[in-house]
Structure 1
Amino acid sequence: MADAGIPHRLPRALLADPEMIAACRARKFSTVFRLLKQAGIYPSMIARACDLTPSRVGEVIAGNRNIEKIDLVERIADGLHIPGHMLGLATRGWEQSARPATATNAITHALPKPTYSAAVPSPLIEPEFFASQIRAIMPSHYKAANLFGSRHALDPVERHVRSIDRLQEHTAGPVRDDLLTLGARIAEFLGWLHQDLGDFTQATYWSDRAMEWSQETGDDLMTSYVLFRKSNQATARRNPQQAVSLARAAQRVSGVTPRIRALAAQQEAQGHALMGNPKFAQTKFDEAYELATAPDEPEDDDALDTAYCTPTYVEMQRANCWIELGDPQRAARVFEAELAVLPQVYRNDQGVYLSRLARAYATAGEPEQGAAAADRALSIALDTESARAIGELAAAGQSLLKWRDVPAVAAFSDRLTLARSAVVPRPRTS
């Protein structure tokens, strides 16, 4: 059985937890796995340690599947280092090799001692604990970036990834692999934050770092996601050929989730639209939409956020491409419909979508509606400091120039001129 990075000594408090004891006695593995996840042992790690598929572990956690076969119970006990008596099993082989223990320390001494490479100095903090704490707070960083803007998450996220980088230098084996797996996710997110704030140099640097770490650990899922992100960056730089080739590379990676496949497919569609290929674009958008409507998989990776990839997200990207493909009226209709159901937490993206709606109206010859949408977008962009939104607003402003004499357009243009100098990448302070 492959070592998946499960600690050789489970936390004493976890094994002594009354809920854990009761769950093991009843062989209620939905609770056992949930408690392990809370301790920083995530479903993907459980799956590897017990030779289970991640989807099966997810079904168990969700309560949709039971584990009853004795050979599987034994495999879980050995893979997760749960003492046999807790699961109603005979003493396991790895327990018998332990030193005699007192009653108060029986659980601790029944498990093998952790081994460390003599060439690697011990870190100042337990890596598994450190990683579990960062995983636990990553969802709050995603929410902060979505709601308040990328700058609100930038500093703590950068500190996290730099701490992981330092810590992995003092670890080895599966522990280091798990740190790099987590680090790749956070580095990718950091790259996205910089991209949203208009700093493509830093965005590219951190995306490259994420790719390096995901390749080093053989993390195919993350490799595919970073390829999607690089395709997204190519689209933002209006390099459609590179956008398409990178998106296709992301789709060639096997074993990724439907959401990541959807993200890569819609990114390829955007590249085709930029090249003026409506048939190819719509085919890939349709594929992405179907993938995004697939049932959600059990969430087992708090450090990688793909929840934003919904049918609404895909349709927002399709709407933007309708402008590129010469049908701004249709784009405006889709934007209006999807903005009405966009969750409020995606306020940062709302500013971008409203900016694109403004450009659609302007291109369609409806300046007053365009100015109204642009004004709403600008109010959000000033709060979130999103360079993406400001860039989209600048494009909308160009489309509105011919109606400069319309009062609403003139008022927006004046506000935009003042705002564009306020939302620029700030100098680094460290």
Structure 2
Amino acid sequence: MQATGQALVMTPRLRQAIEMLQMTNHDLAAFVAAEMEANPFLGRPVREDAPRDFDPGTPWVGAGVRSTPGRSLEEALARPLSLREHLTQQMFLVVPPGPARVIGEMLIDQLDEAGYITTTPEALAAQFGCSVEDVEEGLAALRGCDPTGIGAGSLAQCLEMQLSERGQMDSPTRVLLANLPLLAKGDMAALRRTCGVDEEGLRARIARVRACAPRPAAGFDHTPVVAVVPDVLMRALGPAAGGGWAVELNAATLPRVLLNRTYYNEVASSAGRDPRARTFLRERLEGASWLVKALDQRAKTILAVAGAVVERQAGFFTYGAAHLAPMTLKDIASDIGMHESTVSRVCADKFIGTPRGLLPLKFFFSSALAGTGGVVAHAGTAVRERIRALIASEDPQEPFSDDQIVQRLAAQGVAVARRTVTKYRRVLRIPTSADRRRAARVAA
């Protein structure tokens, strides 16, 4: 007896529909534009006004993401100078024409985000095709620019440049800069012995060091301006509408197409009985019809996923990150009756404009950590926020150990292991309790 079964055949159109589901609105618009070029039976509807509840020209601001549509000429001219522009202007005004200026301007592109050049002069000379002496002259020209400390090869050199400019460099301070690891550890006794000064003299020099800028380029924006437009928009509904949240696709960026059957009928009637022409026209009509339906299905799927995410994360939107609920792709798939892979494709590279900023849909998915005493499980992101809040509220002189944080989280109904607290604390880039205690003593 022959076994029977079912298998899903991946047709070209099914594959294309899956790819469309994963596209952002920007990518989808480019895809639709290409399809309209190739298919005469696709057309654009007359542009309607955007919904009054959403302003497509309003910048949606998120972490490291900015969009500034319609910026005026005055605003563009008034924008802050970039670090490169700031240094290049100084080179032109202060450094005489010659190799020093040319190499100095080339060195600007070697600066890291802190404002340092860590590459050796020998390596730079080989890269630029010049002598080490020429590189040294270019470095001297660059280091003479504002902000002081720019172009330094290390933190110690950066601090020395700033202290020298202020007339605060002496032998004990130079020794202090050579032993910055001891300062980071808060080993005051070792520093006093090494520098050969008393407690008061050491603290005075530490105060001068702390008044310096360890990252001279930090005042300049290094983040490239990337316009990220939300694929989905949400807003709070008023009491008159029953409360809750409204979720809509961003119509301002969503491509719209229509099937032009009138044009098809005109062309088909003029094609006569030519079988090749009629076959071509029929294939183009079927392709246009499929695209319109696929776009509609894509919109419905994205709305279903986004709506389910917003419903499950209502606590986050109302109260903040500490109330982010644990949620997996399987949870959303179960809510809307779709496969996990479909939910994953919908959430890939999609952003939602919320009252709490522009956020990727992937942000809302996190593993669950068990609660205590029958309390509901907690999202990992929410637990990290609780750890951050606990440490922010601690006594700097008596910081909480990881074990104490475990106990306090348990009192809040969150059951976590000590290793989990340690892992989350490291993710948050928070030092150990011992390091925090030493830092507090140095600051005092």
TM-score (norm 1): 0.24
**More relative contact order, 1 or 2 (CA 8 Å, 6+ apart):** 2
Larger strand fraction of residues = 2
Highest CA radius of gyration, 1 or 2? 2
